[in-house]
């Protein structure tokens, strides 16, 4: 079972804060072009897709991040109005899959009223989705009930999980970014479904929306910060006894702390979190959040970067109160989904680019079969298992642009770089420095995989560079 | 050893495909039925083996499976066959003439790395009329030959054409040796069928893929038999290094090699078996035993032409023998006498095979621990490299160290009130127990005997779903007994001494 995004076809409309939300819902047509991570100077062909959005305060449109990612052009349409308006994203929160757009022509908003963000809907209550899903050109409405409220993985970025609401209202491709309405207010933003489930769609609820909107109020997007801890259930009685905890259902155990993140400065392994803010934490890592039992991360999600969260914890046999200040979000370049053009550097036909999940995913749905185990290990395990050997930005030799100077390389790409000319490669700048400061006759490139060694004649490679770029229609030898 | 990328040796599908083909042959008969008695009828026998098969997810369970394969008369009281399917043997029987009574047999010796074994029987009647084969040494390099086996009481005789002699991994091991590749229309071969030429044994088949059969050639058989029957017994050796081709002139210039490009570049150890310290990364290997190595890693064999250098690890040299290597290091040529490391499965972090022993395990309070091995990973089927948990399969890429020569896993938790809260954890590599590093099962047994302040502290890798577990030492034993009773586990542990 996996989550899928309901983008690819349309949605949204506007409404006066009264009985006509559809008038505030807009249809978004996008023309996207993704980079080719394996050949990072190139782009895939332009694709047309569509989604939905809706007007919010400040003459802006709220939609999903995945609707507008990699967009070369965004066109928005008003309710029952054929005129196209050009729009552009001003904030894209890839972690929470939300984006704010502005429209170039202010006339677009004439007569439209912002939809008001409502509350987290109750389970079993009724909601209506508004949007422009596949199957037609006009706005579509589907009605359903709120099935459950839980913390779910957000498919767009793939490695974060936040509060989400499941509904049986049909949410189809094109609904993405459209509002889910209850009592004429926005209860959420439709965003994804789950393969294998019937009559189940998911929307981003008010707490996550409000977090995002509050985040960008200062004109800067910080993203949803992470505490940087792995909390595990504490339901084994022996473990509870070992920690001196009362035999009740309170408290989840800190199992691992990510060294570079906030929690590591305050918490320790085997601390037991009893309460986060106002929320008592149960032994299965859940809290009661507005009547719903959800993962405790919903409580963490209420804080912005720089804000402090009071924590009550159990440490060494007694209760302690601490405060954790949320830092920046996880430094997860190595985990991909950054939605920025890939950095690259080309020398002697060798194309270097950072290792990322986006890079791996560019090899298709079966990317795990198309890439070496070393790349996957480096990306997903290295920093946790051997942090002293981890690199801030692992670099791969993505491919080789064939030329006499590199024709005898036995490694042709998709290989992790260990060092160049004796310089350990920790980030792209190291690659540039290693080649451009070289005074060696040969440039020696050592790979992590099997410790292979390949060399270039430095002078010949340098002389050939311009020709290689020209032959491959590459304007720049780098994007740093 | 070239790049040390093992392909799974004993593909499970192979059994099914071969069995199906065998059945089809049995039903439809076969071409080449004898017109007159072949002298090979006195030298080829049918071997029936029954062996124990283990379920590595529940390592205390086993079943028996029976296979039929072929053997040849190697000498007085000696039936030579391949070692494949002779591991964990519970019963072996022999039949001559393709029909008639079966006689009980025992293993005289087995060499899994060479994939060869000799069976014998004390039944004197069985040997009557049987004739010893002679080995075709050197092996033929071209032309026609025959592949023979007993089927439904007749000696099936199929024609084959020698495709080539090449150096390949042994079927049951990482060692590499001379291999005979034969094109033939035969179906379902690979069960030690006799490959014959001019009245001599050219080899024994080990596998078939389409029309291509692989066979252990007679010269290697002769070498392995000599080693197995020597006193003391000689074992197979291997080159414990990884090399890359030296086709890149810039790389050779970087390594200060003068003259024509030649040799291969040693880049890493293959395992931890070589303790000599004679080889270093970036050495250029120029010659082995006086044979010049080209930039593709080939040498010119006096009998067989171009062969991969790995053949020189199994060409007349056994483990412990010194092999003369000519190296280029730091602009200088030097010679070293490289002692061939012995091929053993446990030189790898994840042993490729675990033969002739019941799977090791330990049950502690319902937590089941086992060593990580390829047989365990094959529980995920033929595509285990894709389907097994990635972190476990990645251990197969790692090299053993002094501190961590192997890994032990928490494989499953058999639910019990004692382990409530832990039941969902599985397939976790154990890092430490009670502060002791755990590499092998005896480490685990010893660690469990040293609880800390009344508790067992279990630690797993930081990349796993949980890092620590705590068990109450005083009640672990009672919980173990309860779990064994509830889940039908006959023994608390099976630990094999190294």
Q: A154 and A9: one domain? A: yes
Residues on chain B touching A241 (C-beta within 8 angstroms): 472
- Residue of A176, A283, A297, A438 with catalytic role: A176
Pick the CATH number of B12-229 from 2.40.10.120, 3.40.50.620, 3.40.50.720, 3.40.50.450: 2.40.10.120
Helix, strand or coil, per DSSP, at residue B183: strand
Range of A267's domain?
A: 229-325
d(CA B150, CA B138): 26
The fold of the B241-339 domain, in CATH, is Pdz3 Domain (2.30.42)
- Beta-carbon separation of B251 and A453 below 8 A: yes
Least CB–CB distance from B386: residue in A369, A410, A457: A369
Chain B residue nearest residue A371, CA to CA: B386
Q: Is the pLDDT of residue A15 over 70?
A: no
Mutate to test the interface with A, among B462, B465, B471, B478 (most CBs of A within 10 A): B462
Dihedral, CA of residue A204, residue A210, residue A216 and residue A218, to nearest 10: -170
Interchain contact, B251 vs A454, CB within 8 Å? yes
Angstrom distance (rounded) from CA B81 to CA A308: 73
Beta pairing, strands A20-32 & A98-103: unpaired
Residue A171 is predicted with a pLDDT of: 85
Which of the residue ranges A3-7, A235-239, B128-132, B451-455 would you say has the lowest mean pLDDT? Answer: A3-7
Q: Among residues 183-242 of chain A, which lie with CB inside 8 Å of chain B?
A: 230, 232-239, 241-242
Per-residue pLDDT at B1: 43
A66 is catalytic: yes
Q: Could you give the CA distance from residue B219 to residue B491 in angstroms, rounded to a whole number? A: 46
- The answer to whether residues A64 and A194 belong to one domain is yes
Q: Are residues A313 and A384 in the same domain?
A: no
Whether A450 sits inside 8 A of B3 (CB atoms) is: yes
Six-digit token string for B95: 């039949």
d(CA B443, CA B432): 9
Q: CB–CB of A237 and B420 under 8 A?
A: yes
* pLDDT higher than 50, residue A94: yes
Q: What is the pLDDT of residue B301?
A: 97
- Is A7 a residue whose pLDDT tops 80? no
DSSP 8-state code for residue B392: H
Among residues B118, B119, B115, the alpha carbon closest in space to that of B104 is found at: B119
Distance of residue A22 Cα from the nearest chain B Cα, in angstroms: 45
Q: How far is CA A468 from the centre of its chain?
A: 35
Q: Could you say which of B242, B247, B419 has the minimum Cβ distance to residue A450?
A: B242
Average pLDDT, chain A: 91
For residues A243 and A178, membership in a common domain is answered with no
Q: What is the CA radius of gyration of chain B?
A: 25
Q: Exactly one of A97, A215, A418, A443 is catalytic; which is it?
A: A97
Sequence spans of domains, chain B:
12-229, 241-339, 346-494
Percent of chain B with pLDDT over 70: 93
Mean pLDDT on A453-464: 97
B132: Cβ contacts below 8 Å, ≥ 6 apart: B43, B73, B74, B75, B76
Among residues A359, A385, A24, the alpha carbon closest in space to that of A177 is found at A24
Residues A339 and A316 in one domain: no
pLDDT of residue B415: 97
C-alpha–C-alpha distance, residues A5 and A178, integer Å: 13
As for how many domains chain A has, the answer is: 3
Q: Is A70 on the interface with B (CB under 8 A)?
A: no
Quote the CA–CA distance of B105 and B89 in Å, as a whole number. Answer: 11
ipTM: 0.89
**Residue B442: CB atoms within 10 Å:** 16
A257: CATH: 2.30.42.10
Mean per-residue pLDDT over chain B, rounded: 92
**Closest by Cα among A165, A168, A129 to A145:** A168
Instruction: For residues A148 and A259, state if they share a domain.
Output: no
CATH number at residue A433: 3.20.190.20
CA distance linking residue A376 with residue A383, whole number of Å: 12
- B246 min Cα distance to partner chain A (Å): 9
Band (A19; pLDDT cuts 50, 70, 90): low
From chain A residues 22-51, the ones with a CB under 8 A of any chain B CB are none
Q: A interface mutation test: which of B254, B284, B331 has the most A CBs within 10 A? A: B254
Q: How far is CA B392 from CA B366, B396, B460, B470, in A?
A: 21, 7, 13, 23
Residue A348 and residue A269 in one domain: no
| Beta carbons of B247 and A373 less than 8 Å apart | no
Q: What is the CA radius of gyration of chain A?
A: 25
Q: Is the pLDDT of residue A14 over 60?
A: no
Q: Does A158 lie in the same domain as A262?
A: no
Q: HEC states along chain A?
A: CCEEECCCCCECEEEECCCEEEEEEEEEEEEECCECCCCCCCECCCEEEEEEEEEECCCEEEECHHHHCCEEEEEEECCCCCCCEEEEEEEEECCCCEEEEEECCHHHHCCCCCCCECCCCCCCCEEEEEECCCCCCCCEEEEEEEEEEEEEECCCCCCCEEEEEEECCCCCCCCCCCEEEECCEEEEEEEEEECCCCCCEEEEEHHHHHHHHHHHHHCCCCCCCCCCEEEECCCCHHHHHHCCCCCCCECEEEEEECCCCCHHHHCCCCCEEEEECCEECECCCEEEECCEEEECHHHHCCCCCCCEEEEEEEECCEEEEEEEECCCCCCCHHHCCCCCCCCEEEECCEEEEECCHHHHHCCCCCHHHHCCHHHHHHHHCHHHHCHHHCCCCCEEEEEECCCHHHCCCCCCCCEEEEEECCEECCCHHHHHHHHHCCCCCEEEEEECHHHCEEEEEHHHHHHHHHHHHHHCCCCCCEEC
Contact B238, B116 (CB under 8 A): no
Q: What are the tens digits of pLDDT across the range B367-400?
A: 999 999 999 999 999 999 999 999 999 999 999 9
Cα of B121 to nearest chain A Cα, Å:
48
Give strand pairing partners of A351: A346, A399
Tokens 């008010």 belong to which residue? A206
Whether residue B232 has a cis bond before it, omega within 30° of 0? yes
d(CA B68, CA B102): 12
pLDDT in tens, B86-118: 999 999 999 999 999 999 999 999 999 999 999
Domain end (from A325, A356, A385): A325
The answer on A212 and A268 residing in a single domain is no
Could you give the maximum distance between any two Cα atoms of chain A, in Å? 76
Write out pLDDT tens, residues A322-377.
999 988 655 555 555 567 889 999 999 999 999 988 888 888 888 888 889 999 99
Q: Which residue among B245, B267, B420 places its CB closest to the CB of A235?
A: B420
Tell me how far apart the alpha carbons of residues B71 and B98 are, in angstroms, rounded to a whole number.
Answer: 11
Residue A28: the pLDDT is 97
Boundary residue ending a domain (A325, A348, A364): A325
At B354 the pLDDT is 95
| pLDDT for residue A195 is more than 50 | yes
Interface with chain B: mutation pick from A236, A238, A285, A415, highest number of B CBs within 10 Å:
A238
Annotation marks residue A458 as catalytic? no
- Using a CB-CB distance cutoff of 8 angstroms, which residues of chain A are in contact with residue B476? none
Cβ-defined contact of A236 to B470 (cutoff 8 Å): yes
Q: Under CATH, what is the fold of the domain B346-494?
A: N-terminal domain of MutM-like DNA repair proteins (3.20.190)
The confidence score (pLDDT) of residue A332 equals: 55
B133 membership: H or E segment, kind and range: none
Alpha carbon of A271: minimum distance to chain B alpha carbons (Å): 12
Backbone angles phi, psi at A274, to 5 degrees: -100, -30
Task: Report the share of chain A in percent with pLDDT over 90.
Answer: 75
Chain A residues 234-273 with a CB less than 8 Å from chain B: 234-239, 241-242, 255-256, 269-270
Residues A295 and A352 in one domain: no
A8 pLDDT higher than 50: no
Q: What percent of chain B has pLDDT over 90?
A: 90
Alpha carbons B13 and B19: distance in angstroms, whole number: 10
Binned at pLDDT 50, 70 and 90, residue B151 comes out as: very high
3-state secondary structure of B289: coil
Q: Which of A376, A380, A456 sits opposite B250 (nearest CB)?
A: A456
A480 vs chain B: nearest CA distance in angstroms? 28
Closest by CA position to B334, among listed B346, B323, B324, B321: B324
Percent of chain A with pLDDT over 70: 94
Q: From the list A235, A238, A384, which residue is nearest B463 (CB)? A: A384
Kindly tell me if the per-residue pLDDT of A9 is higher than 70: no
Distance from CA of B449 to the nearest CA of A (A): 18
| Residue among A202, A186, A103 nearest A153 (CA) | A202
pLDDT for A198 equals: 73
CATH number at residue A75: 2.40.10.120
Same domain, A306 and A178: no
H/E stretch holding B425: none
A451: closest CA of chain B, how far (Å): 6
| Confidence tier at A85 by pLDDT (50, 70, 90) | very high
Among the listed residues A24, A38, A52, A66, the single catalytic one is: A66
- Respond yes or no on whether the N-terminal peptide bond of residue B52 is cis (omega within 30° of 0): no
A291, A325, A359 — which closes off a domain?
Answer: A325
Mean pLDDT in residue range A79-99: 95
Beta strands in B188-240 (DSSP E): 194-197, 200-209, 212-217
Res A335: pLDDT: 54
pLDDT in tens, B14-72: 444 444 444 333 333 344 444 578 999 999 999 999 999 999 999 999 999 999 999 99
Q: Which has the minimum average pLDDT: A220-224, A232-236, B3-7, B15-19?
A: B3-7
CB contacts under 8 A, A 97-136 vs B, are none
Residue B29, phi then psi, degrees to nearest 5 = 75, -170
Q: What is the pLDDT of residues A260-297, one digit of tens each?
A: 788 999 999 999 999 999 999 999 999 999 999 999 99
């Amino acid at each position: 079972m996996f989550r899928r995004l309901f983008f690819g076809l349309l949605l949204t409309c506007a409404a006066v804060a009264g009985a006509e939300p559809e008038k505030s819902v807009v249809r978004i047509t996008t023309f996207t072009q993704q980079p080719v991570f394996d050949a990072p100077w190139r782009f895939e062909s332009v694709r047309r897709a569509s989604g939905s959005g809706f007007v919010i305060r400040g003459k802006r449109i709220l939609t999903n991040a995945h609707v507008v990612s990699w967009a070369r052009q965004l066109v928005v349409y008003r309710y029952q109005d054929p005129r196209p308006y050009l729009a552009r994203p001003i904030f894209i929160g890839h972690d929470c899959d939300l984006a704010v757009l502005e429209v170039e022509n202010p006339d677009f908003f004439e007569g439209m009223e912002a939809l008001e963000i409502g509350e987290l809907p109750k389970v079993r209550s009724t909601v209506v989705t508004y949007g422009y899903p596949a199957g037609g050109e006009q706005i579509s409405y589907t009605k359903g009930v709120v099935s459950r409220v839980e913390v779910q993985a957000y498919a767009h970025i793939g490695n974060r999980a936040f509060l989400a609401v499941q509904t049986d209202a049909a949410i189809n491709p094109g609904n993405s970014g459209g509002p889910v309405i209850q009592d004429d207010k926005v209860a959420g933003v439709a965003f994804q479904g789950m393969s294998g489930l019937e009559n189940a769609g998911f929307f981003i609820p008010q707490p996550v929306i409000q977090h995002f909107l509050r985040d960008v109020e200062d004109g800067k997007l910080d993203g949803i910060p992470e505490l940087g801890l792995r909390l595990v259930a504490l339901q084994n009685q022996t473990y509870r006894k070992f920690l001196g905890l009362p035999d009740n259902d309170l408290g989840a155990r800190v199992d691992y702390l990510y060294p570079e993140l906030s929690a590591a400065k305050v918490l320790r392994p085997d601390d037991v979190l009893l309460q986060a803010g106002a929320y008592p934490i149960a032994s299965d890592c859940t809290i009661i959040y507005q009547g719903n039992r959800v993962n405790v991360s919903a409580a963490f999600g209420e804080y912005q970067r720089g804000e402090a969260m009071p924590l009550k914890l159990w440490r060494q046999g007694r209760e302690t109160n601490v405060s954790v200040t949320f830092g920046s979000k996880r430094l997860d370049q190595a985990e991909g989904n950054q939605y920025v053009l890939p950095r690259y550097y080309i020398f002697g036909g060798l194309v270097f680019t950072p290792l990322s999940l986006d890079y791996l995913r560019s090899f298709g749905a079966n990317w795990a079969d198309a890439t070496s185990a070393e790349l996957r290990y480096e990306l997903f395990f290295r920093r946790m298992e051997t942090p002293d050997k981890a690199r801030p930005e692992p670099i791969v030799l993505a491919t080789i642009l064939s030329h006499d100077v590199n024709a005898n390389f036995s490694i042709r790409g998709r290989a992790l770089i260990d060092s160049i000319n004796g310089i350990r490669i920790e980030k792209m700048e190291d690659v540039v420095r290693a080649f451009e400061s070289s005074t060696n006759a040969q440039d020696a490139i050592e790979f992590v995989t099997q410790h292979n060694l390949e060399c270039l004649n430095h002078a010949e490679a340098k002389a050939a560079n311009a020709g290689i770029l020209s032959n491959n229609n590459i304007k720049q030898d780098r994007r740093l | 050893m070239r790049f040390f990328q093992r392909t799974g040796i004993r593909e499970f599908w192979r059994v099914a495909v071969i069995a199906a083909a065998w059945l089809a042959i049995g039903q439809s008969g076969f071409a080449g039925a004898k017109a007159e008695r072949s002298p090979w009828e006195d030298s080829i026998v049918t071997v029936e083996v029954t062996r124990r098969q283990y379920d590595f997810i529940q390592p205390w369970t086993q079943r028996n499976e029976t296979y039929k394969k072929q053997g040849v008369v190697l000498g007085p009281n000696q039936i030579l066959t391949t070692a494949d399917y002779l591991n964990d043997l519970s019963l072996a029987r022999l039949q001559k003439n393709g029909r008639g009574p079966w006689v009980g047999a025992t293993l005289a010796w087995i060499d899994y790395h060479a994939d060869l074994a000799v069976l014998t029987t004390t039944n004197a009647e069985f040997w009557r009329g049987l004739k010893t084969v002679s080995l075709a040494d050197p092996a033929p390099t071209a032309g026609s030959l025959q592949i023979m086996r007993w089927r439904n009481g007749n000696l099936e005789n199929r024609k084959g054409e020698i495709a080539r002699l090449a150096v390949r991994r042994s079927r049951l091991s990482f060692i590499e040796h001379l291999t005979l590749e034969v094109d033939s229309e035969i179906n379902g071969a690979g069960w030690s069928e006799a490959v014959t030429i001019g009245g001599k044994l050219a080899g024994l088949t080990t596998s078939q893929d389409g029309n291509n059969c692989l066979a252990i050639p007679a010269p290697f058989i002769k070498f392995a038999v000599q080693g197995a029957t020597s006193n003391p017994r000689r074992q197979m050796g291997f080159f414990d290094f990884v090399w890359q081709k030296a086709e890149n002139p810039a790389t050779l210039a970087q390594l200060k090699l003068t003259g024509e490009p030649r040799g291969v570049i040693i880049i890493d150890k293959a395992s931890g078996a070589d303790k000599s310290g004679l080889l270093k990364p970036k050495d250029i290997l120029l010659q082995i035993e006086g044979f010049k190595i080209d930039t593709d890693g080939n040498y010119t064999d006096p009998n067989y032409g171009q062969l991969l250098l790995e053949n020189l690890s199994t060409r007349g040299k056994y483990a412990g023998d010194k092999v003369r290597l000519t190296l280029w290091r730091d602009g200088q040529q030097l010679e070293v006498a490289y002692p061939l490391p012995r091929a053993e499965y446990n030189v790898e972090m994840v042993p490729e095979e675990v033969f002739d022993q019941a799977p090791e395990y330990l049950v502690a309070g319902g937590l089941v621990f086992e060593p990580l091995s390829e047989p365990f990973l094959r529980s995920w089927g033929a595509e285990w490299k894709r389907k097994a948990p990635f972190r476990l399969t990645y251990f197969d890429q790692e090299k053993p160290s002094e501190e961590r020569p192997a890994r032990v896993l928490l494989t499953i938790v058999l639910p019990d009130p004692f382990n409530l809260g832990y039941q969902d954890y599985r397939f976790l590599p154990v890092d430490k127990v009670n502060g002791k590093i755990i590499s092998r099962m005896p480490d685990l047994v010893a660690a469990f005997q040293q609880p800390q302040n009344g508790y067992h502290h279990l630690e797993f890798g930081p990349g796993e779903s949980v890092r620590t577990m705590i068990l109450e030492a005083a009640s672990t034993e009672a919980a173990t007994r309860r779990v064994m009773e509830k889940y039908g586990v006959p023994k608390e542990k099976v630990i094999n001494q190294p």
